[in-house]
Amino acid sequence: MQININSVTKRYGDYVALDGVSAEIPSGSVFGLLGPNGAGKTSLIRIMNQITGPDQGQILLDGKPLKPSDVNRIGYLPEERGLYKKMEVGEQSMYLARLKGLDSKQAKVALKDWFERFEIQDWWKKKVEELSKGMAQKVQFITTVLHNPELLIFDEPFSGFDPINAELIKNEILELNRKGTTVIFSTHRMESVEQMCDYIALISRSKFVLNGSLNEIRERFRDNTFKLEIRGDHSESQFNLPEGAILLEEKQDANILTKVVRLQGSDTTPLLKAGMELGTIQLLSEVIPSVNEIFIQTVKQSHE
């Protein structure tokens, strides 16, 4: 499912939560919605889920404006999530599935499938309050994806999940994505973004400050920084820094000398030459900024 966000604005009284944001999320992609707390991520996600409506602009699904029945095509795991504590797992899962438009037969079949897959068949008659937190999280995940949504939206999916379940959930999300489900997730944890996302958008102060494919964005943020590792103890020797280059970092560890240098251009020949004068070069690699660095840098810039 392709999603177009067309200059969406949302206000709460005088407060502007989203200020004319636009983005295109290609079908079948994993889209990361990044931003500091309070930037407007959850507001945008709630609009996509039709929990609230935009004041201006619109969301298109496969080119058509959102309509009420579209909630059945979307699976949503909110950041603030939970289950009815007094209800039995099976009964509750059936209820949530039917609210997503499945009839009881379909719901039962799909639930059996997932319960077998997670090996939790014997939880069916348990009350949610009897489950551990990790167990409840599994149930919650199942109820989110049960109706085979074309679009899955996760708000901070890994917050509150223990590492083992987080890994499990991550793999399940990627598996669903391989089968064609478009995935949007919002997070402020950058490591998961690098592992999972094809596309990202960065929200800061109610606006998209960055938006595009992950590789393209990282390409854009390359600044000709290279890491050079030279074998041997050469701390005493003179290192001829190429013209215009800046030495960012230097380290001698055992007999490996490491230097991080920002060059003026992308030509690494002068750097290699300078290194060879000192000893054997073990490694030369480009230091590509992490999403985290891009994030911090961009947010800072946007605040200036």
Partner 1 sequence: MNKILLIIQREYLSRVKKRSFLIMTIVGPILLSAIGILPAYFASMPEPDRTLMVLDQADILDMDRGTERITLKYLGPPANYTIDEAKEQFMLTEDYALVYIPTGSGWDPDFISKNIVIYGKEEVSLGIKSFVEDLIRSKIEDLKLRNQGVDPEVIAQVRTVVRVKSINIEESGAEEESIVEGKMVIGFIFAFFMYFFIFIFGSQVMNGVMEEKSNRVVEVIVSSVRPFQLMMGKILGSGLVGLTQFLIWIVLSFVIYTAFTGIFLADKMEAIQTIAEQSAGTENIEQLQNDGLSSALSFLDSLNVPLLIGSFIFYFLAGFFLYASMFAAIGSAVENQADAQQFLFPVTIPIILSIVIAMKVAEDPNGPLGFWFSMIPFTSPIVMVTRISFGVPYWQLGLSMALLILGFIGTTWVASRIYRVGILMYGKKITWGELWKWMKYGG
Stretch that binds partner 1, among 136-144, 237-245, 258-266, 272-280 (CB under 8 A): 136-144
Should residue 127 be labelled a site residue for partner 1 when binding is judged by CB under 8 A? Answer: no
96 binds partner 1 (CB under 8 A): yes
Residue 53 binding partner 1, by CB under 8 A: yes
Q: Out of 73, 98, 108, 262, point to the residue binding partner 1 (CB under 8 A).
A: 98
Q: Which two tokens stand for residue 129?
A: 């309050």
Kindly tell me which residue out of 22, 27, 38, 51 binds partner 1, with binding defined by CB under 8 A: 51
Least CB distance to partner 1 at residue 47 (A): 8
* Segment interacting with partner 1, rule: CB under 8 A, options 4-12, 188-196, 218-226, 290-298: 4-12
Residue selected from 12, 116, 175, 276 as contacting partner 1 according to rule CB under 8 A? 12
Considering the rule CB under 8 A, would residue 135 count as an interface residue with partner 1? Answer: no
Q: In DSSP terms, which residues pair with 224 in a beta bridge?
A: none
Phi-psi region of 2 (alpha: psi -120 to 50; beta: other; left: phi over 0): beta
Q: Under the criterion CB under 8 A, does residue 52 sit at the interface with partner 1?
A: yes
Nearest distance from residue 15's CB to partner 1, in Å?
10
Q: Which residues of 275-303 are buried (b: 16+ CB within 10 A; e: fewer)?
A: beebbeeeeeeebebebeebbeebbeebe
Say whether residue 95 binds partner 1 (CB under 8 A).
yes
Q: Which tokens is 71 given?
A: 């909630």
Does position 233 interact with partner 1 (CB under 8 A)? The reply is no
Burial of 32 (0-12, 13-18, 19+ CB in 10 A): buried
- Residue 126 touches partner 1, criterion: CB under 8 A: no
Query: Cα–Cα distance between 216 and 212 in angstroms, integer?
Result: 7
Cα–Cα distance for residue pair 167/191, rounded to 1 Å:
13
Residue 138 found at the interface with partner 1 (CB under 8 A): no
d(CA 199, CA 178): 15
Between 95 and 118, CB nearer to partner 1:
95
Residues engaged in binding partner 1 (CB under 8 A): 10-13, 46, 49-55, 68, 71-72, 74, 76-78, 80-87, 95-96, 98-100, 140, 143-144
